[in-house]
Amino acid sequence: MMKKSPPQNLSRRSFLKLAGGTAAAAAFGGYVLPRTFGKTLQPTAVSVANAADPEPDLFFAGTDGWISLPATPAIAPFHPDDLAPAPFDAYIFGFRNITGLDAAQIGQQKNKAQHNAPLFWTQQDVPFRLKLTNLGLALRPDLVDAHTLHWHGFRNVIPFFDGEPSGSISVPIGREFTYIFNSHDPGTYMYHCHVEDVEHVHMGMTGLVFVRPAQDGNTSWYPSGKYVYNDGDGSTGFDREFAMFLSEFWAEAHWADSHIQLPEWSDYHADFAMLNGRVYPDTIAPNGSIDPFNPVHDINGDLIPTPGYEHLQYQPLSSLVNCNAGERVLLRFANLGFMQSAMTTSGIKMHVVGKDATLLRGRDGTDHSYFTNTVSIGAGESAEAIFVAPPYQGPGPYDTYYLYNRAYTRSSNLSTGGAGGQMTEIHVYPAGTLGAQMVPNT
- Within 8 A by CB and 6+ apart from 123, the residues are 183, 211, 212, 214, 216
pLDDT of residue 323: 98
pTM of the model: 0.87
pLDDT of residue 418: 57
Residue 224: half-sphere exposure toward Cβ, Cα within 13 Å? 19
> What is the DSSP secondary structure assignment for residue 233, as one 8-state letter?
S
- Within 8 A by CB and 6+ apart from 240, the residues are 321, 322, 323, 327, 328, 329, 330, 437
pLDDT of residue 35: 37
pLDDT tens figures, 241-298: 999 999 999 999 999 999 999 989 889 988 999 999 999 999 999 999 999 999 999 9
Quote the CA–CA distance of 105 and 305 in Å, as a whole number: 17
DSSP per-residue codes, 240-251: EEEEEEEEEE-H
DSSP per-residue codes, 190-220: EEE--TTHHHHHHHT-EEEEEEE-TTTT-TT
pLDDT tens figures, 404-430: 999 877 777 776 655 578 999 999 999
Domains in the chain, ordered, with CATH?
58-429 (2.60.40.420)
pLDDT of residue 280: 93
pLDDT under 50: residue ranges of the chain: 1-51
